Amino acid sequence: MSAFTCEFAPEGAPTRPIHVIEAADLDTWSAGRPEPERAWITAQGFKATLGTHLVLPNPDGTAGDVVAGYGSASDRARMRFALGPLALSLPAGDYHFEGLTDPQALAEETLGWLLSGYRFTRYAGKAPTPSRLRPSPELDAARVLAMAEGEGLTRDLINTPSNDMGPDELEAAARRLADTHEATCEVTLDEDLLGANFPMIHAVGRASARRPRLIDLRWGTEGPALTLVGKGVCFDTGGLNLKPGGSMALMKKDMGGSATVLGLAHMIMALGLPLRLRVLIPAVENAVSGTAFRPGDVLTSRKGLSVEINNTDAEGRLVLADALALADEEAPNLILSMATLTGAARVAVGPDLAPFYATAPEQAAALQEAAGRVADPVWQLPFHAPYEKMIEPGIADLDNAPAGGFAGSITAALFLRRFVEATPYIHFDIYGWQPSAAPARPKGGVGQGARAVLEALPELLGL
């Protein structure tokens, strides 16, 4: 995978200050510095614009303190993790922030520092060696570290190409995570899916030589129950409704939902949160062979609802449906699914926002507010009931791919909601990919929504 490691400067280690200065405050701040430093700032034309920095000279000519430009509030609204790149651009050493007093900004920039050290180097390249940051005493460093580690796991899983990240390897990743946190992990495999009543997971995965399965991880014995369901389509050819070549290029990321819930699960377990966690991952490859399910087929789901297949490329909702039905049978306090489900969601909100749906308005509000606190942007879309008729084909209870092309993300969410009746339900339709490099986010796989959920758990579950 990657050589990504998360670590802070050890307590007690000598560190150099990074003075975080807004552009409007630079003159006032520099007036209190020694004259040689003031002259250096002027000579370098430093203006404290967002994303810039300047290493100040010591009297002996060696590198001294660092000044990091923090621009203005309007500048920062257009950029997350602005200070993160300092981890790789400063001279090697240990540092600490000064002048960054807002707790939310402090947590964001500290997380960005850690995440800036991530590179996927399994096949080529060399992992960077970031400088280390000493976390502020006011910061919950363990929480930031858990978030960075969980995000690193998610990125690794998504970035790994499908020849090395099939259902077997996804199961192995879940088992490693379970072993790390003393959780249990059970797997229902291949033909056993039929005996255990997971017919749609089996139908989607049966055409591949890589056997389909349902991964079931459990952790914790006390507290409210949270079940996470992640789409684990390790590669999506589109099935018999074959995708064009260009549309297959990123289909290694079609298991991004499972990667994200595993990253979130790590955060929860690493922090020892007082809840009962269950993670369900239907892991399949949507392939083409003589046993592939067909357009026009009618499948019967675990819940007993019949589904007409109008497009085999709308397979993610099928495997999620069986897993959601299983989750609902236990009636946990909350079911939350994550999936790289529809192109319609990307068209609606672009790659940076994670759209979500929620059956409980108070939970939606809590999630939206929490996302802003942890620099993990989300946006609520509606379970719009008048569109229910669009997923009712007549020949079966449900249609997996309504014709017309309208409201594709909403109709997919409505389809999934049919399989959750006993429990409050939140569904994320994520992209899981950073299309171009940004601070703390190299091009490639990326987690979306996990930090927002972690931050909102006290409100979502009453912790």
Residues marked as catalytic: 243, 317
228 and 261 Cβ atoms separated by less than 8 Å = yes
Single out the residue of 113, 17, 24 nearest to residue 58, CA to CA: 17
Using alpha carbons, list the distances in angstroms from residue 350 to 248, 317, 375. Answer: 19, 21, 16
CA distance 263 to 6: 14
Q: Side chain identity at 342, as an amino acid letter? A: T
Distance from C-alpha of 380 to C-alpha of 276, rounded to nearest angstrom? 26
Let me know: does 277 contact 177? Beta carbons within 8 Å. Answer: no
Whole-angstrom Cα distance, residue 420 to residue 335? 8
Residue 117 CA to residue 128 CA, distance in Å, equals 6
Contact criterion met (CB below 8 Å) for 133 and 96: yes
Pairwise CA distance, residues 361 & 440, whole Å: 32
CA 306 to chain centre: 31
The distance of Cα 66 from the centroid of its chain, to the nearest Å, equals 32
Q: Tokens in use for 62? A: 């060696």
